[in-house]
Chains A and B, each alone.
Chain A
Amino acid sequence: MAEIEENKVRGIISAINGPVIKGTNMTTFKMREMVMVGKNRLIGEVIVLEGDVGTIQVYEETEGLKTGEEITPTGRPLSLKLGPGMLKNMFDGIQRPLEKIQEISPIFIPEGIGLLSIDEEKLWDVTITAKPGDVLLAGSIFGSVQETKVIENRLLVPPNISGTVIEVSANGSYTIIDTLVKIQDGKNEIHELKMAHDWPVRTPRPSAYRRETLVPLITGQRVIDIFFPIAKGGTAAIPGGFGTGKTMTQHQLAKWSDADIIVYIGCGERGNEMTEVIEDFPKLIDPRSGESIMERTVLIANTSNMPVAAREASIYTGITIAEYYRDMGYAVAMMADSTSRWAEALREISGRLEEMPAEEGYPAYLPSRIAEFYERAGSVETLGGDDGSITIIGAVSPAGGDFSEPVTENTKRFVNVFLALDKSLAYGRHYPAINWLESYSGYIKILSDWYEDNVAEDCIDLRNKMLELLYEENKLQEMVMLVGEDVLPDDQRWVLEIAKIIKVGYLQQNAYNKDDTYVPLEKQYAMLKSIEYLYEKGRSGLKLGIPTSQLKDADIFGQFIKMKYTIPNDDLSGIDRLKDTIDTYYDALFKKYEN
């Protein structure tokens, strides 16, 4: 695909150190240019230029490379081919389809397979909406293709081109490299518009302007949707030591979030996890579209044993694909698992460049790279005038589970939602192990109107009240550890009992249960409201001098703990019945005490 001009000046490899190589005779090379290295034509990118010496990071295994071999320029930066054919597919860190690689080499990923990208032979049924004489602005839509059952790919004029339509092909079947429309720009230059266009990964795609983020990303996960909501177009980080369920949480979000498009990046993580996604996702049905969730998903995989330089690129590949779908007017959610591996890739490359390290060997530019990445999220008006958004949810794998390490610390500065995973919760098999004391969402205020209008008037107040109760429980637990529970006064013991229901019956959510894996907001609210109802009933009882032991009815408490399983998602009448049960029991109890 990359046409290499034969007469271009080539560099000569002079030094090799793992994924970093140096070449001489490179004065005509450009910074960040994509190059082909050696006789196997490994793909690389120029990262430093100094005199006629260039430093290149290579995206493939460099074993076997010799000094004296050639470095061939491609004349363009590391770019993606953006067009239909990305959904339902899995790519490596530089957008090479893993399925196609498998055709070349059935088991292992060899080096030197060259640049591959989305399928250029597949025929798509194209509807072209542009007419001769129309003026097409940059980023506007000139046609459409049904990319998958649920997603229509809106064909975009590349963001750097505009002009008047002079020629239009008839609707019909085309490949992504066929010319569909010709436009003439202000300088009388003619541009061919195809289904796909190239875009450099390190350049954010432009949009008209940023909007406020006012709508939550509904995930179906109670602890997130009610307690720590993420806004569409917002940013969130999920830090946690190993075994705390980062990947599990990311998978749940990828499966159930109400985004139009999911871009999932497995960055330096386990191969089996990506295999699991490929096996599981096609079987799961999106509750909104009724089709498999794979129909809206793009997967990027650079597993931990794949070349480290491509890991650094994978994050940019993912976000560029996300921006492409955003520009069509879709709400995109991107999961990056894990951003720490990306930061470590930066560190490794930086180390090989012998740069002066800052904290823990990470380069000094780590914070600015993290900031640049998260700032590519946002809710925007696209160049074409539509609403589009990108939500970024990044997992962080802090070394030793210590949140004070540089990647977690710096990520915290640039994200608005922090979902701290907790080892002790995970040990107690409390999943998702999101610690309610350490986590926060910066979107509560701006989303509160939405919750009031769409869920319930008192939704946010209820959330605050229950969270306070959990804080109080935490303080009481410290006391219990010192003196035992029996010594506490009854009202405090009642707080402990209710907190237990919130923790076990509400915050814990079972990803393997077919009802509990995704819970609609309405039920999330109703469940919490009923817990509050029980809490207030008990408090009335306390005022009558009824001890907690009497207030705690094993049967009612059992029903609360199990209500996530026993009350179906589409029929909440069980919650009303539960309230009736409470009324009957407590009214009888109160009568006894009043007399």
Chain B
Amino acid sequence: MKRDYLKIDKVVGPLIQVSDVDDVFYGEVVDIVENSTGNVKKGKVIKIDGKNVVIQVFQNTAGLAAGNSTIKFTGEAFNLPMSLDLQGRIFNGIGEPIDSGSDIFSMVEANINGRPINPMAREYPRNFIQTGISSIDTLATLIRGQKLPIFSGNGLPHNELAAQIVRQAQLGDDVDEAFGVVFAAIGVKHDDEKFFRKSFDEANVMDRVVMFVNYADDPIAERITTPRCALTAAEYLAFEKNMHILVVMTDITSYCEALREISSAREEVPSRKGYPGYMYSDLASLYERAGMLHDRKGSITFLPILTMPNDDITHPIADLTGYITEGQIVLGRDLFQRSIYPPVAVLPSLSRLMKDGIGEGFTREDHAEVANQLFASYSRVQEVRDLSQIIGEEDLSQTDKKFMTFGRAFEAEFLNQGFDESRNIIESLDLGWKLLALLPLAELDRLTPEMIEKYLPQDE
């Protein structure tokens, strides 16, 4: 029989401390019942020291006092009921329904922390997902089972891009392969959440979306559980129900801020910029839940969005993310300011899994070469632009002038595309060739003669 505890020793931010406690386990879920109203807040044991226990409370701790609440240890880990009925529903950050629907009942429960996937059980992701966006499909190809974050900045159209990907992504090769979306909003503005809901509606996928929402004005401790609830749902749908799941998560920056706030409340030794030393492992415990398995049909493709503070890619949040994820799609402010949508900064963007998912049998034989050549040439464009800043465009060599022309056309025609415009990979590759034809043949050193022969448009 579990005892109830009536006295709270200490309240610091989202943490409370209770003393003289017996028989609780690390990670146990706790109900904190306000005596006068009967309101229940949930919490989790995050530290045990002798008979003192530290509990992280998922709701606001305002109003808690030494003697006004009863603390009940539930004897359970943080589990969520799992069912296909999750689809089409909206939950808060600890998995409680916040739409008008009923609670989820199921015999299947899953621990939201998950467990690491055995690398032996993984299948190396190889299937190309067409997003219909030229810059991504051609240059930073998304692969089924990949974790590919969008590195954005405040005010940049990352939400639009994510919505467009959800709308246009062709996840399954066969129509009968089920696909779904799991959406986690961590510390987002109400407007942003509305925007996504509207986009899902327009894309006609709302009944296949599971939403977990923690608003910007919700308690921060709940931000820690929001992504875990979402990924647990994704794992269930993908690996138990054989669905192809696209997980969209925004904003990882809010998640990390919450992590820092709690760490500081716990008086832990900080590492870079005050973020806890375990932030890498903690982020990895989220990102690594994406993937494919040998003997399961489903997959989890993970598209986390983060806003880089001050557009700084070396900021710990972006930096640690980049070390774990399989590439990144970086949005550039200068492109955005020149009204190019989606403002994908091509050079720092990268898809690590692309090499095995493109080419003959996946996209087209010339894909790798075209991508390489576009990168190399566009990289040269940057150098030429720097030079022209100094000596003026008039004084550039003939070749350099052609690079300037290519650069402008590449941004205006290749990168730039409509919010509702979907281009298939063949169209994107052909467009790439058309632009490369603007350059002198001698500068196309990443292309083999056979491919040039076959694909390079003759004359202008």
Chain A positions near chain B (C-beta within 8 angstroms): 14-18, 22, 61-68, 90, 98-99, 101-102, 105-111, 241-243, 266, 268, 270-272, 274-276, 278-279, 301, 303-306, 308, 341, 344, 347-348, 350-351, 354, 357, 360-362, 397, 399-402, 427-429, 480-486, 504, 512, 554, 558, 561
With contact pairs A110-B115, A481-B390 given, residues A305 and B288 touching in the complex (Cβ less than 8 Å): yes
B328 within 8 Å of A (CB atoms)? yes
9 tightest A-B CB contacts, nearest first: A304-B284, A400-B314, A63-B27, A242-B322, A108-B115, A361-B271, A305-B288, A274-B119, A275-B122
Report B-chain residues with C-beta under 8 Å of the C-beta of A354. Answer: 269
Identity of the chain B residue whose Cβ is nearest the Cβ of A246 in the assembled complex: B323
B132 within 8 Å of A (CB atoms)? no
Contact residues of A: prevailing secondary structure? mixed
Identity of the chain B residue whose Cβ is nearest the Cβ of A347 in the assembled complex: B277
With contact pairs A68-B23, A270-B326 given, residues A304 and B280 touching in the complex (Cβ less than 8 Å): yes
Identity of the chain A residue whose Cβ is nearest the Cβ of B54 in the assembled complex: A17
With contact pairs A99-B120, A272-B124 given, residues A63 and B114 touching in the complex (Cβ less than 8 Å): no
B277–A361 touching, CB < 8 Å: yes
The listed residue (A106, A270, A350, A360) touching B324 by CB distance below 8 A is A270
For window 304-340 of chain B, which residues contact chain A by CB distance below 8 Å? 314-316, 319-320, 322-324, 326-328
A429–B319 touching, CB < 8 Å: no
B379–A61 touching, CB < 8 Å: no
> Closest Cβ of chain A: how far from B364's Cβ, in Å?
16
A305–B285 touching, CB < 8 Å: yes
Bound CA–CA A12/B221 (angstroms): 31
A106–B121 touching, CB < 8 Å: yes
Report B-chain residues with C-beta under 8 Å of the C-beta of A429. Answer: 372, 375-376, 379, 446
For window 68-84 of chain B, which residues contact chain A by CB distance below 8 Å? 77
A-B interface pairs (CB < 8 A), number? 212
Bound CA–CA A174/B167 (angstroms): 61
Report A-chain residues with C-beta under 8 Å of the C-beta of B352. Answer: 243
For window 345-359 of chain B, which residues contact chain A by CB distance below 8 Å? 347-348, 350, 352-353, 355
B390–A107 touching, CB < 8 Å: no
With contact pairs A63-B27, A64-B27, A428-B375 given, residues A272 and B271 touching in the complex (Cβ less than 8 Å): no
Beyond A268-B281, A304-B281: 11 further Cβ-contacts under 8 Å?
A102-B121, A111-B115, A274-B119, A275-B123, A275-B124, A278-B120, A301-B119, A360-B271, A401-B319, A429-B446, A558-B445
Bound CA–CA A270/B322 (angstroms): 11
Bound CA–CA A306/B319 (angstroms): 20
Report B-chain residues with C-beta under 8 Å of the C-beta of A350. Answer: 269
With contact pairs A64-B77, A270-B326 given, residues A305 and B119 touching in the complex (Cβ less than 8 Å): no
B386 within 8 Å of A (CB atoms)? yes
User: Which of B269, B319, B322, B328 has the most CB atoms of chain A within a 10 A radius of its CB?
Assistant: B269
A482–B123 touching, CB < 8 Å: no
B239 within 8 Å of A (CB atoms)? yes
B412 within 8 Å of A (CB atoms)? no
Report A-chain residues with C-beta under 8 Å of the C-beta of B36. Answer: none
B293–A107 touching, CB < 8 Å: yes
B433 within 8 Å of A (CB atoms)? no
Report B-chain residues with C-beta under 8 Å of the C-beta of A486. Answer: 397
Bound CA–CA A64/B28 (angstroms): 7
Report B-chain residues with C-beta under 8 Å of the C-beta of A17. Answer: 47-49
User: Which of A15, A16, A266, A362 has the most CB atoms of chain B within a 10 A radius of its CB?
Assistant: A16
Report A-chain residues with C-beta under 8 Å of the C-beta of B390. Answer: 481-484
B244 within 8 Å of A (CB atoms)? no
> Closest Cβ of chain A: how far from B352's Cβ, in Å?
8
The listed residue (A65, A90, A101, A347) touching B271 by CB distance below 8 A is A347
Bound CA–CA A108/B119 (angstroms): 9
Bound CA–CA A482/B323 (angstroms): 35
A272–B48 touching, CB < 8 Å: no
Bound CA–CA A106/B291 (angstroms): 15
> Closest Cβ of chain A: how far from B313's Cβ, in Å?
8
